[in-house]
Amino acid sequence: LGRVATHQEGAYGCSFHPLDNNLLITYGKNILTFWSRRKDGFFERTDVIGNSAMNGAAIDKTINTINFLESGDLVTGDEEGMISIFTVSSEGEYFMSHEFDAHSKGVNCLYMLTRGTLLSGGEKDRRIVAWDASRDFGKILETKLPEGAGSCRTLTPQYPGRNDGNIYVGTVKNIVLEGGLQRKFTPLVWGHSRQVDAVT
């Protein structure tokens, strides 16, 4: 267990680092913060973006989603459609090592597959794109959700350990779709009263 006083603006989510269970990352509107748990159970805070960012330069961004590369680097998707990679330096400080334009508006979801393939889902463009993390995030494949389904809110593969197989997508129009990068997405479930925020 640990204790921490968090942010004044709303955090959208948090995740423990997959390679360090004493490192928690929170993200949201003007929030990307690394929390290192001390032995006394309290957390030390390092702001990477926002008004109290560690390098003194305020970076205003809304981070919609995060995930991790196999190397442990943090991947973020923001409201402007950018995907950013944050790496830790030899001094233990986090910095943005790579950034690229992924979607025409916000990036709503990220999912890291095996063998360095990153999936991203766009907020407005209805695209799901596969990126090659081992080759400077070059685009591998992309597909577009049907217009009536709305845009991607969350996604998960049927077989997380493989790069093939079905992908399940929850949309902002209350639909769960089944499909893949090389075949059409079809509705699997209707009937949610609001957008589908998670699929697992």
Over residues 172-194, the pLDDT tens digits come to 888 899 999 888 999 988 765 56
Percentage of residues in the chain having pLDDT higher than 70: 84
Over residues 58-74, the pLDDT tens digits come to 567 899 999 999 999 99
Contact between residue 142 and residue 128 where contact means Cβ atoms under 8 Å apart: yes
Which residue type, as a one-letter code, is found at position 50?
A: G
Over residues 114-173, the pLDDT tens digits come to 888 999 999 999 999 999 999 999 999 999 999 888 899 999 998 876 666 789 999 888
Show Cβ contacts of residue 99 under 8 Å, excluding neighbours closer than 6 positions.
Answer: 82, 83, 84, 85
Distance CA 145, CA 50 (A): 33
Query: Does the global pTM surpass 0.75?
Result: yes
Over residues 31-59, the pLDDT tens digits come to 999 998 888 888 888 888 865 454 545 56
Give residue 54's pLDDT. Answer: 47
Domains, in order of start, for the chain: 11-190 (2.130.10.10)
